[in-house]
């Protein structure tokens, strides 16, 4: 049975009636790595050996790899349209700086004709007429052409002129052939396998004004996706020392500030929306989620080992601040956890208001 995503894709394509013409799909027998193109200098550097690592400085990694060619290319109306593919990037949660891409195309164009491609990168592309935002737009000129006059395919590394910041999630990429004879030049087709979020479909946009022309596919054979590999440096997500958990049902907000490292200064903040009423902090070393019906309250760090307060919040901002210094390494160790919960009085003076749980993890 078809998965939901594939079923919805197929239904959408059928409704729009935009299956691409089979004559626009051409078999390609010879697909090879051809070298590197430097956008900053508009220079192509031929090579028959694909490097294990990208060509620029730093510690890059392959972030997204949709380059499993299936021996076909798509020509379509490459002179007047660009073809947009999309997928889902997982850079580790913090986004990434993309410094190199790999593209793939095929052509039967011979010298003296030149292959020129316009390639774009998009953030937030969801397909079906949602292209997102262009974050990179590159014109690549003087790319390799066909020596035989038959359709020859090429994979090209492209060093970008500047790092492109991209976030995790929906991304896209598009091809437009600006070759002197575009009828014989177009993107290779890839998959399966394909990267996450890639569907058996692509969007067509009019090159002149970016208007959406429709979504196309080839009826499942070959797979309707285009090559794109992103290489760069993922942004490091610094783990937070503070994590909230549980449900907030009352009017106490508990939070923490600080790096959570040994010998560092940190602050616990308790905020109450009941002016003038005291609050207190309970501390333990066990996380819990215990409902006590008699009090109609949820307890998130039983058993309590320490009670701090009652404290009266500052009337100007309703905050009670508890600064403290984490002990030195050895007294505490990275990965150890402390759990907290704050309580406060209501207007009648009953201790029935409470916060979510707050976990401090020593960094």
Length of the chain in residues, anyone?
A: 363
Q: Which domains does the chain have, with CATH numbers?
A: 18-234 (no CATH), 242-361 (2.60.40)
Phi and psi at residue 157, to the nearest 5°: -80, 135
3-state percent breakdown (helix, strand, coil) of the chain, nearest 5: 5, 50, 45
b/e 23-49 (16+ beta carbons within 10 angstroms → b): ebbbebeebebbbbbbbeeeebeeeee
**Tokens for 117?**
């491609």
Rounded (10°) CA dihedral 75, 79, 81, 82: 70
The dihedral region occupied by 173, where left means phi > 0, alpha psi between -120 and 50, and beta the remainder, is: beta
Q: Which residues pair with 165 in a beta bridge?
A: 97
CA–CA separation, 221 and 93 (whole Å) = 34
The dihedral region occupied by 5, where left means phi > 0, alpha psi between -120 and 50, and beta the remainder, is: alpha
pLDDT score recorded for residue 162 = 96
pLDDT along the chain (363 residues), means of 10: 40 46 77 96 92 59 94 86 96 92 95 90 97 97 92 96 97 85 83 94 95 91 95 84 85 92 95 88 95 91 94 88 94 94 92 94 94
CA–CA separation, 97 and 162 (whole Å) = 9
Considering all CA atoms of the chain, what is the largest pairwise distance in Å, rounded to the nearest integer? 89
pLDDT score recorded for residue 16 = 41
pLDDT score recorded for residue 315 = 86
DSSP secondary structure letter of residue 13: H
DSSP secondary structure letter of residue 313: P
If residue 7 lies in a helix (H) or strand (E), which one and from where to where?
helix 4-16
CA–CA separation, 198 and 67 (whole Å) = 12
- Residue 90 burial (10 A CB sphere; 0-12, 13-18, 19+): middle
Neighbouring residues of 24: CB distance < 8 A, sequence distance ≥ 6:
74, 75, 76, 186
**Tokens for 158?**
């492209």
Which residue, among 119, 172, 184, has the nearest Cα to 146 in the 3D structure?
A: 184
- In three-state secondary structure terms, 183 is helix
């Amino acid at each position: 049975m078809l998965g939901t995503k594939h079923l919805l894709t197929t239904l959408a394509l059928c409704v729009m009636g935009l299956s691409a013409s089979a004559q626009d799909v051409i078999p390609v027998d010879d697909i090879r790595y051809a070298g590197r193109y430097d956008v900053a200098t508009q220079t192509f550097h031929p090579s028959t050996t694909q490097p294990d690592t990208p060509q620029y400085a730093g510690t890059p990694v392959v972030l997204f790899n949709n380059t499993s060619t299936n021996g076909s290319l798509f020509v379509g109306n490459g002179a007047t349209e660009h073809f947009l593919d999309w997928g889902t990037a997982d850079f580790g949660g913090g986004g990434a700086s993309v410094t190199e891409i790999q593209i793939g195309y095929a052509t039967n164009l011979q010298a003296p004709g030149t292959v020129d491609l316009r390639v774009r990168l998009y953030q937030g592309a969801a397909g079906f007429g949602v292209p997102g935002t262009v974050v990179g737009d590159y014109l690549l000129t003087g790319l390799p052409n066909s020596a035989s006059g038959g359709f020859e395919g090429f994979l090209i590394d492209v060093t970008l002129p500047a790092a492109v910041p991209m976030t995790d999630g929906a991304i896209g990429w598009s091809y437009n052939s600006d070759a002197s004879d575009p009828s014989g030049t177009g993107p290779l087709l890839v998959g399966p396998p394909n990267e996450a979020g890639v569907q058996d479909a692509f969007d067509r946009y009019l090159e002149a004004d970016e208007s959406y022309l429709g979504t196309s596919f080839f009826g499942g054979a070959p797979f309707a996706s285009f090559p794109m590999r992103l290489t760069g440096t993922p942004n490091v997500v610094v783990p937070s020392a503070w994590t909230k958990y549980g449900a907030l049902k009352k009017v106490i907000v508990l939070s923490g500030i600080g790096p959570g490292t040994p010998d560092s200064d940190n602050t616990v903040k308790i905020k109450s929306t009941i002016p003038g009423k005291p609050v207190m902090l309970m501390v333990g070393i066990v996380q819990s989620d215990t409902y006590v019906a008699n009090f109609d309250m949820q307890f998130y760090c039983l058993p309590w080992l320490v009670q701090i307060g009652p404290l009266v919040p500052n009337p100007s901002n309703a905050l009670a601040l508890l600064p403290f210094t984490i002990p030195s390494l050895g007294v505490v160790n990275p990965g150890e956890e402390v759990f907290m919960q704050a309580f406060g009085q209501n207007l009648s003076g009953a201790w029935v208001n409470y916060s979510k749980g707050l976990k401090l993890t020593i960094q």
